[in-house]
Structure 1
Amino acid sequence: MDAQEKIAQILQRLETGTCTPQELQWLQDWYDNQPALPMHTFRDEAHKQQLKTGMLQHIHAQLEPPVHVPVVRMRYGWQIAAAVLAGVAGICGWWFLNNWQPRHKMILVQVGTGQQKELLLPDSSRVWLNAGATMEYPQEFSDVRTVKLDGEAFFDIKQDEHHPFEVHTGQINVQVLGTSFDVKAYATLDETQVTVKTGMVKVLHEQKGLDVLSANDQLTFSRSAQQYMKSKVSNQQISEWAGGMISLSQAGFAELALTLENQYGVRIRFNPAEMKQDEYTLRCSKQLTITEVLDLISSIHPVQYDIKDKDITIHRKN
Structure 2
Amino acid sequence: MRNSDQEITKTIEEAWDSEYKEVSEKAIDDSWATFRSKLPQERRKKDRIKLYKFYGAAAVFVALVAGYLFFSLYNPTAHIYNEALADKEIILPDGTLVLLKHKSSISYPENFRNRDVKLTGEAFFDVVRDTLRRFQVKTEATTTTVLGTSFNVKAEEGFDDTQVTLFTGRVLVSVKDRAESWALIPGESFVYKKGRASVERFETILSFEAGNKFIDVNYVKLDKVLDFLEERYGYEFDMETIPVNKRVTLRINESDSLEQILNVLSIINNTNYEMNPTEKKVKLFKKKKESATIK
TM-score (norm 1): 0.43
